[in-house]
Homo-oligomer: A and B are copies of this chain.
């Protein structure tokens, strides 16, 4: 991943700065240790590459590296990985490494719960741009590790006309037409609507994908019926929870986007244990 090293280095600078005063004063430079990462609760793994990169940046001289793969499910108490390295570097990098790993496992694990909730149905669970600043690439990977799919990465790789664009542009149809004219020919045109009327306007103007924002189950079902014979993609969004996601999926929409996957996933509790090697 282009940019991972820089991200990890910045994170280390934030936490280590000019030096880890505790480790420097208490741990001999030449001490080697064996380290093991355990899960304190069940979940789905994500972020193992960033975890390891922390120790590479710190030049911990990692050896005997064993780790589970991203996307693997784990239970409470499971060993997720182990390695040998310089004790001082492991102690210095431990928190940053776990901060990455716990957060990303959290995203993967919550995603997996949503995916599980719609099992057997066609709808796919996808993420949003409601990610943590500077963590988007990693968080979007975590969504995939949890079984979800990615939405557009950012503002530059997909057109999605939101309610505020519609208001400023003077209507759904006008906004869609401008977007078709103003973007390159490999981009589809997505647009957010809140009523069946707006949906019709979007379709007429040539939208390729329509996001049904905060609409009732009935309205979503009607939207699905209206478009069943057209090559248009339907996405539902807004107030999606683990409780209502299956009902939404059952309407027949193709995608359900869930901001909580990245903005409100609780961390998965992990621990790193050291022994002198």
Contact = CB atoms under 8 A, between A and B. Distances in A.
A47 B18 CA distance: 16
A179 B23 CA distance: 9
Interface of A: 2-3, 7, 9-27, 31, 33, 57-58, 87, 90-92, 94-96, 98-100, 102-103, 106, 126, 129-137, 149-162, 164-165, 167-169, 175, 178-179, 181-188, 190, 208-209, 233, 235, 254-255, 259-260, 263-264, 266-267, 272-276
A31 B134 CA distance: 30
Contacts of A22: 155, 159-162, 165, 179
A92 B1 CA distance: 12
A99 B160 contact: no
A21 to B, nearest CB: 5
Number of copies of this chain in the oligomer? Answer: 6
A237 B54 CA distance: 25
Contacts of A132: 99, 103, 132, 135
Contacts of A178: 25-26
A106 B80 CA distance: 30
Q: Is the contact region of chain A dominated by helix, strand, or loop, or is it mixed?
A: mixed
A276 to B, nearest CB: 6
B185 A27 contact: no
Nearest to A32: B168
A94 B102 CA distance: 28
Contacts of A276: 167-168
Given A7-B133, A134-B11, A21 B155 contact: yes
Across the A-B interface, the 6 shortest Cβ-Cβ residue pairs: A25-B182, A158-B186, A264-B266, A11-B133, A20-B155, A17-B156
Contacts of A158: 21, 157, 184, 186-187
B159 A157 contact: no
Most interface-central of A31, A90, A264 (chain B CB within 10 A): A264
A173 to B, nearest CB: 12
Given A21-B156, A157-B186, A264-B266, 17 more contacts: A11-B133, A14-B18, A14-B154, A21-B155, A21-B157, A26-B165, A26-B175, A26-B182, A133-B134, A134-B134, A151-B185, A156-B157, A157-B187, A158-B184, A159-B186, A160-B186, A266-B266
A17 B17 contact: yes
22 contacts: A19-B137, A21-B158, A21-B179, A25-B181, A25-B183, A26-B165, A26-B168, A26-B182, A27-B165, A27-B168, A87-B168, A91-B168, A95-B155, A126-B184, A132-B132, A156-B156, A157-B158, A157-B186, A187-B187, A188-B188, A263-B267, A266-B266
